[in-house]
Each structure stands twice: as C-alpha cells, then as structure tokens.
Amino acid sequence: MSKMESYWLDLKQLDEMAGNRTVLHRIHPCAKLLTTVIFLTVVASFSKYEISGLFPMFFYPIFLIILGELPLGPISNRVLLALPFVIFIGIFNPLLDQNPVVQFGPFFISGGWISFLSILLRFLLAVTAALILVATCGIDAIGMALLQLKVPKVFVIQLLFMYRYLYVLLEEFIRTIRAHSLRSFQGEGIRPRVWGSLLGQLLLRTIDRAQRIYQAMLCRGFDGEIRLIRQKKLVGMDIVYFLGWSAFFIIIRLVNVTQWLGTLLIGGY
C-alpha cells in the first residue's frame, strides 16, 4: 500500500525537519503560526485575476526554506500530490471565462486562463506556507502555540495524542494491508466481503489498545491534562519577525512591486 507508506515516510521526514536547529526554528511558534495566518489571508485576498502581484509573496516561502534549511524534495512532492483537486476545480475557469484580457503581440489570453494561473499560484503559496510551518515548528510546538492562543485544551490534547498514535497505527495498517494483498488476487483494493471484518478487526484492536494506553497512563499519574515541558516566552525577536512579515505582506498587497520592477527594467513607457 504505497500511499500509506508514503504518508508514513512524509510524517517522519517532517518530524526530522522540525528537529533542525536554525534561526527560524528558534522563533516562537506563536509568531510563526500568526505570520502564516496573515500570509494566507493576504494571499487569498488578492483579486481573482491577480498574477504579477502574487509573485513578491514568494519571498516568504523562499526565505523560509533557505533560512530553515529545509529540503525542497519532500515539500515539492507533497505539493504535487495535492495538486489534482485544485486543477479539477480550477480548469473550469478557462472553459467558462473566455474573455480575452491580455495581449502578447498577436495572441490574446482569456480571463479564464489568467484566473486559473492565479489559482495555481495561490495554491503553491498556501501549501508551501503550511508545510513550512510544520517543518519549522513540529506538532508539539504548534500545540503549545494553540494553547497560548486559547484553543480549547481538549482539542489540543486530542491533536497531540492523535499525532503520536498515527505512527503506531500507520505501521499496523501497513502490515495488515500488506498481508491482505499478499493473500488476495485483486491487487490493492479490499473486497466488499471483508470490508467489515478487516477494518472492524483493526478497530477492535485499536480500541483495546486505547484502553491499555489509558490504564498505563493512569498508572503514571495521568489526570486528564498534558503538560508540555517546552514553555517558551515571546521575546523581541519574535515580535519583530511577526510585525516585519505582516508589514511586508500588506505592502505587497497594496503595491504591485512586480509590475513596478518590470517597468523599471524594460524602461517603462
């Protein structure tokens, strides 16, 4: 089951990246989380036909990938895997909106293609921003940031718990599905006759495991709360990071730097 295995490997890789110790990794997770939110909002707020104005936004992911010393391979892999849905919805734009709006010599480009391209750019920006956030924080730090931002504790604990068990369960699922596909002639899909028993069996095992885990946790003094050791305080650098990027995004949103630079270079008119 290649998909599950690839997910499993990706999880591991992202976790390793989060363990790096770069300047970027030292920034407070709250600052990084809020910056990402502002970034995504600004990207989404660009008008539907904006292309050139979106380009300066690439400063953000490019900077972060370089500063965080993140490998490009796994990140671009995930971007490619997520692409089909966006293309599926976006490809209707060129079909539905055939108004020519841009002219290159004898060629006209329709508004639909422009907005489609714009969608692809937004997608690229949004997806890399989210992956970078995880790759530079790690799930524990994000959980801590969420707690500080007053997200309900039950939810944060749930998030962290689930993340931990994902490793265990994914491995178990991979083994089970592999065993099934080795014994069946139908490739990777699960036949309807075993839908219930295969997943049901896994579910029962999961529930039993949860109970064992719960007992073990009680034995070790669990009282319904998860205490995170890594408590960090916001320092000046974090605030500068947040405010600096936010100001940059808003300026980019208001001034089309790309157009300006291009005009400057080809001599204006």
* CA distance between the termini of the chain: 58
Q: How many beta carbons lie within 10 A of that of residue 189, not counting itself?
A: 9
- Please report whether residue 178 would count as binding another protein according to CB under 8 A: no
Q: Work out the widest C-alpha separation in the chain, in whole angstroms.
A: 77
Residue 228's contacts (CB-CB under 8 Å, 6 or more residues apart) are 140, 143, 144, 147
Contacting residue, 152, 228, 235, 247, with another protein by CB under 8 A: 152
- Please report whether residue 14 would count as binding another protein according to CB under 8 A: yes
**Is there a contact between 6 and 73 (Cβ–Cβ < 8 Å)?**
no
- Please report whether residue 122 would count as binding another protein according to CB under 8 A: yes
- Please report whether residue 133 would count as binding another protein according to CB under 8 A: yes
Encoded tokens for 219: 């034995």
- Please report whether residue 120 would count as binding another protein according to CB under 8 A: yes
Nearer to another protein, 59 or 148 (CB): 59
For another protein, the binding residues in 20-49 under the rule CB under 8 A are: 22-23, 36-37, 40-45, 47-49
Encoded tokens for 132: 């970078």
Distance from C-alpha of 255 to C-alpha of 247, rounded to nearest angstrom:
12
- Please report whether residue 244 would count as binding another protein according to CB under 8 A: no
Contacting residue, 31, 70, 117, 129, with another protein by CB under 8 A: 129
Contacting residue, 9, 179, 207, 243, with another protein by CB under 8 A: 207
Any idea how long the chain is? 269
For another protein, the binding residues in 73-112 under the rule CB under 8 A are: 78-79, 81-82, 85-86, 89-90, 92-93, 96-105, 108, 111-112
Contacting residue, 113, 147, 190, 232, with another protein by CB under 8 A: 190
Distance from C-alpha of 14 to C-alpha of 78, rounded to nearest angstrom:
11
Contacting residue, 73, 221, 224, 236, with another protein by CB under 8 A: 224
